[in-house]
């Protein structure tokens, strides 16, 4: 639980909010989404690296999932996130 708490803190410090309904961490400004599974299954170092990773400002959402989301899931989540 301690490790998850540390990772949660990392995400919150970077401006991410947790969506309880979708089990994802979302940063609307950065337009990045981390799944809970990804956060749980990766180390703090990997998470920190992904948080700092620059993404092109195309307006598209960037998803960090263990298994890349299908186009259908990306479409659904993008519609929900706006």
Residue from 11, 16, 32, 33 that binds other proteins (CB under 8 A)?
33
Burial class (CB in 10 A: 0-12, 13-18, 19+), 24: buried
11 with 34: CB under 8 angstroms? yes
Residue from 11, 16, 35, 51 that binds other proteins (CB under 8 A)?
35
- The verdict on 75 binding other proteins (CB under 8 A) reads yes
Q: How many residues bind other proteins (CB under 8 A)?
A: 26
Cβ closest to other proteins, residue 58 vs residue 67? 67
- The verdict on 67 binding other proteins (CB under 8 A) reads yes
For the chain, what is the total number of helices (H) and then of strands (E)?
Answer: 4, 4
């Amino acid at each position: 639980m301690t490790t998850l708490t540390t990772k949660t803190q990392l995400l919150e410090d970077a401006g991410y909010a947790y969506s309880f309904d979708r089990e994802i961490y979302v940063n609307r400004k950065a337009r990045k989404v981390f799944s809970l599974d990804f956060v749980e299954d990766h180390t703090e170092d990997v998470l920190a690296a992904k948080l700092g990773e620059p993404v092109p400002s195309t307006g598209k959402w960037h998803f960090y999932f263990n298994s890349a989301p299908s186009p259908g899931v990306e479409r659904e989540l993008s519609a929900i996130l706006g």
